[in-house]
Amino acid sequence: MFNLILFGPPGSGKGTQSEKLIAKYGLKHLSTGDLLRSEIANQTALGLEAKTLMDKGQLVPDAVVIGMIDAAITNHPKARGFLFDGFPRTKAQSEALDELLNKKGASINVLLALNVTEDELIKRLLNRGLTSGRSDDTKEDVIRARLGEYHNKTASVADYYNKSGKTVLVKGEGSVDEIFDSLSAEIDRRM
Ligand code: AP5
Ligand code: MG
């Protein structure tokens, strides 16, 4: 298996690059944000609970997202690998993910961290908010809350994987294709 974490703050391009990377490398895309938005669209109890937190720009509880990832991994026993997008976002999530993969005799091969300045992130998200229908993109205070959660709880996930030499920083500004080429080069070196 080849398992990749595409990492970075809100608006850094994780979703955009994931679409291209799964097409090129045949990995299964697991985005906890997308999974949560689909729970909201289906009006499940989990979705309703998550929506209140997401609308405020706060992380949903670890147990909720770990449960979703556990189920998704179990449901794709033949996957040649997973691309994790927006997960893990805390140390507890990182440890749980390592354990889930370990049970399959697998592990994370690399964490690619997209590096984008805060001004550019806010610009991209407000711009997407004009058309996305994502309620957490339209208000600048909610965007700032998301960035705050990232700095306080999530940024250290890159340090966690750096201890085993798996974290690689990639420039996240420039054209989508340029960034895709940089990410692909890092993957090719390890696959
Ligand atoms: P999630 O859905 O993961 O959102 P996010 O991390 O805030 O990130 P985004 O999806 O907004 O950005 P992205 O990095 O994917 O960038 P994109 O490619 O879209 O999470 C949402 C919420 O769910 C969280 O706040 C939390 O409440 C909850 N949640 C999710 N996972 C969780 C977890 N594990 N634990 C706890 N809670 C969790 O690009 C952004 C924009 O920029 C787009 O408009 C795009 O077109 C544009 N763009 C992309 N690349 C470029 C480029 N190179 N140049 C110019 N524009 C670009
Ligand atoms: Mg995304």
What pLDDT is attached to residue 132? 86
User: Could you tell me if the CB of 33 is within 6 A of ligand 1?
Assistant: yes
Q: Which of 60, 147, 171 to mutate to test the pocket of ligand 1 (most atoms within 8 A of CB)?
A: 60
**Which of the ligands is closest to the CA of residue 16?**
1
**161: CA distance to ligand 1 center in Å?**
21
190 catalytic residue (yes or no): no
What pLDDT is attached to residue 1? 95
Torsions phi, psi for 144 (to 5 deg): -65, -35
What pLDDT is attached to residue 31? 98
166 catalytic residue (yes or no): no
CA dihedral (61, 64, 67, 73) in degrees, to 10, reads -90
Q: Which of 14, 37, 51, 166 is catalytic?
A: 14
User: Could you tell me if the CB of 179 is within 6 A of ligand 1?
Assistant: yes
For the entire predicted model, the pTM comes to: 0.98
Please list the ranges in the chain whose pLDDT falls under 50: none
Question: Of all atoms in ligand 1, which is nearest to the CA of residue 175?
Answer: 53
Nearest in space to 191 (alpha carbons), one of 99, 98, 81: 81
Question: Of all atoms in ligand 1, which is nearest to the CA of residue 59?
Answer: 37
What six digits make up the tokens of 36?
Answer: 């949560």
Contact criterion met (CB below 8 Å) for 54 and 84: no
Q: Whose CA is nearest to atom 5 of ligand 1?
A: 10
